[in-house]
Amino acid sequence: MHAAAPSPLSVRRATPLSGRVRVPGDKSISHRALIFGALATGVTRIRGLLEAEDVINTAKAVTSLGAPAEKIGDVWQVMGRGPGGLRQPVAPIDFGNSGTGTRLMMGVVAGHAMTVTMSGDASLSKRPMRRVLAPLKQMGLQIVEDGRETLPMTLRGSEDLVPIGYKLPVPSAQVKSAILIAGLHAAGATTVIETEATRDHTERMLRYFGAHVESVETDGLTHITVRGDAELSGRDVLVPGDPSSAAFLCCAALIVPGSDITIEGVLVNETRTGLYTTLQEMGGDIAFLNPREEGGEPIADIRVRASQLKGVHVPADRAPSMIDEYPVLAAIAGFARGQTRMDGLAELKVKESDRLAATAAGLVANGVAARIDGDTLIVDGSGTVAGGGTVATHLDHRIAMAFLTMGLASTEAVTVDDTTMIATSFPEFRGLMEQLGARYAHMD
């Protein structure tokens, strides 16, 4: 199988963006709906599933474990196998570029007496799995290649997992989720202790599927406990719009003069809205309209109008609620007047690329004064961005989309060296941007 050839793309200054659009379903919730549907007894029907490569790979993974996931009409259906009902796959499971799918499925494998080989693409195979493997090993998961911490790797699960209490050394919704998923299959209560809040989609959806999950705050710590030997029941799930995808459209509308757009049905869970809080602090005209709740999650329509932005200090404790959005925030910070300082970005160094270094390099290549100080990114905004540079994406979809957003308001065109990986998370990105008025051109 040959890798797709790089596909460079350039973007030039846009006329005002306008219109009403709906972004694809939230990736985090899509992954979890497929996985919990597989673990549940009965059928789970999912509307609005994100049909991007990462999520499709999770659908293939649960299918290979004996819980078929298929699209029937406009609904995805998962035939759940109930407690202990998944089976050993006949071949290795390829997760492509999906760190979320990989880590959550490690929690699934941990609780089943099966041996599973997991693999991924070149980018995913460089990403460390130590944080998630450490607690799962305490519970009883075995790594066949002792000491291995990157894909490909072979894992051996157990029907006799030990419940644990585990304090997260670094905030991570993926690690927390893997432990809670494994805890469903342990005899007793498994507790994860957080020092900082992370995305709570796993807790919300586990409750929706019938698991007993408690969250208690004590002395500044959050204790999330799941009761083992759980029996989940198939559910109907409506996946709300992904706020991380909506972020690119929102940022584009803020920097392109005269823009006025509305993004419908977006997830506004407070563990995911750090970017929107930051943009409002920068002077962004952002309004949350028609708030409502679906499937245990809060959603709203987001109206965004072009605004003159100012630099701000983004505190480290906001990082968990916007970790995926820092590249696009940095990409538009050059259009703000004054300095934007983003603290606490250590996690960006171990994403699909060293996202922190790639973001800073892309800014400098396009005439923006930016520098890294430890785990802090500092952007000195002048109100305008020269552009004219080519950005090295390092196979990172969010780097590509962040700079394709920046180029919509830069003086000269901005080029990214590859766009093929955008399909892993947001294949509709270009189409939706062009629907609002953006214009892109492929480079020879």
Per-residue tokens: 367: 């005439």
End-to-end CA distance of the chain: 24
Q: What percent of the residues of the chain are helix, what percent strand, and what percent coil, each to the nearest 5? A: 35, 30, 40
Burial class (CB in 10 A: 0-12, 13-18, 19+), 130: exposed
Measure the CA–CA gap between 323 and 81, rounded to whole angstroms: 34
Question: Which residues does residue 21 pair with via DSSP β-bridges, in sequence order?
Answer: 263
- Which H/E stretch holds residue 76? strand 75-81
Annotated active-site residue 324? The verdict is yes
Measure the CA–CA gap between 66 and 78, rounded to whole angstroms: 10
Measure the CA–CA gap between 334 and 336, rounded to whole angstroms: 5
CA separation (Å) from 49 to 27, 108, 164, 377, 432? Answer: 8, 20, 32, 34, 17
Matching residue, tokens 């030039």: 12
Q: Out of 94, 324, 417, 418, which one is annotated catalytic?
A: 324
262-279 CB burial, b ≥16 within 10 A, e <16: bbbbbbbbebbbbbbebb
Measure the CA–CA gap between 84 and 111, rounded to whole angstroms: 8
Measure the CA–CA gap between 111 and 240, rounded to whole angstroms: 29
Question: Which residues does residue 217 pair with via DSSP β-bridges, in sequence order?
Answer: 222
Active site residues: 324
